[in-house]
Amino acid sequence: MGEKRRRQIAKDKAIRQLAIQRVEAVWTCLDVLCPDMALEAKKELARKVLDLSRGEEQKPPRIMIAPDQVESMIWPNMQCIHPRCPMVLFTNDIADELNEFFKQEE
């Protein structure tokens, strides 16, 4: 067996050992933090923690502003000096503009 192959075997063995240690650490933490948790729930939580440890976490879903939310925010703050003002509020357009504005900050 060549030197390169021996180094690869040693590297693979070290990676396996680190993976085993991570899993044991997660199970130990879950046993301490959540002793009464059901096994299936504990497995799911362990899977999520291990995903985080590998950097595989997902970005949280982007919160979008709905047109009815725009209406509830803006209408109370609007004024018109004419008593019979047919003020029109384009809530869909405002919601799209706000969502586009906040998307650019990410």
The first and second tokens of residue 18, run together, are 């680190």
User: What are the Cα distances from residue 36, in Å, to 30, 75, 95?
Assistant: 10, 49, 45
pLDDT for 60 = 65
pLDDT for 21 = 92
pLDDT for 58 = 63
The residues, ordered by sequence, that sit 6+ positions from 52 with a Cβ below 8 Å of its Cβ are: none
List, run by run, the mean pLDDT of 10-residue segments along the chain (106 residues): 84 89 92 91 91 71 80 76 74 83 68
User: What is the chain's length?
Assistant: 106
